[in-house]
Chain A
Amino acid sequence: KAGVTQTPRYLIKTRGQQVTLSCSPISGHRSVSWYQQTPGQGLQFLFEYFSETQRNKGNFPGRFSGRQFSNSRSEMNVSTLELGDSALYLCASSRGDRGPGGEAFFGQGTRLTVV
């Protein structure tokens, strides 16, 4: 069974630009969560999508947005990039329920560098 695929793996953008990251979850999984990871802040939750609807949202500014398509693939967009947005962006895939078997599985991440 294929794992979680994130593209691209690496990205360099200039301050003020926008960026779109993509995540393809495990087949059959309907939930996709996005995280930002930096050395000083650890894993910070951005938002979660389940069946094309945003179900949970973290404390990030409106420049960070996402969406999920009918095939459960998800995209995350960051507009007006700032230097502080440089981070590893991780996507996690799960069935979307709470019980056993509902664990989250991560992709390898997209490393974004803003210069």
Chain B
Amino acid sequence: QKEVEQDPGPLSVPEGAIVSLNCTYSNSAFQYFMWYRQYSRKGPELLMYTYSSGNKEDGRFTAQVDKSSKYISLFIRDSQPSDSATYLCAMSDNSNYQLIWGAGTKLIIKP
């Protein structure tokens, strides 16, 4: 079993819909959680960074961390075709500087 599980998709939704992207993890020591967006043939771009549990909002994006369930989510409101990309989750703990990555979810927003 991988340390971080992420459904590769693709996830296809109509423009304007609310999108929910998720990752589950097995290591209860993870404290730092990140979401990256990657367009085709580009490097990943940091979207959200969260420490420990709770919610964080930035524009149309909301990141949630539920440490009791070992589950993190990224919500995208009013989705746009330009949001079509692969979304990767990453996380780390307090003893190791290395990020552990999910496989990435390919998101397609249909106009």
Contacts and interface: CB of A to CB of B under 8 A. Distances in A.
Interface of A: 4, 6, 31, 33, 42-43, 45, 48, 50, 55-56, 88, 90, 96-100, 102-109, 111
Count chain B CB atoms within 10 A of each CB in A6, A97, A109 and give the residue with the most.
A109
Interface in B73-111: 88, 90, 92, 94, 96-99, 101, 103-104
Contacts, number: 56
B93 to A, nearest CB: 8
B1 to A, nearest CB: 16
A55 B97 contact: yes
Secondary structure of the A contact surface, majority rule: strand
Interface of B: 31-32, 34, 36, 41-46, 49, 51, 88, 90, 92, 94, 96-99, 101, 103-104
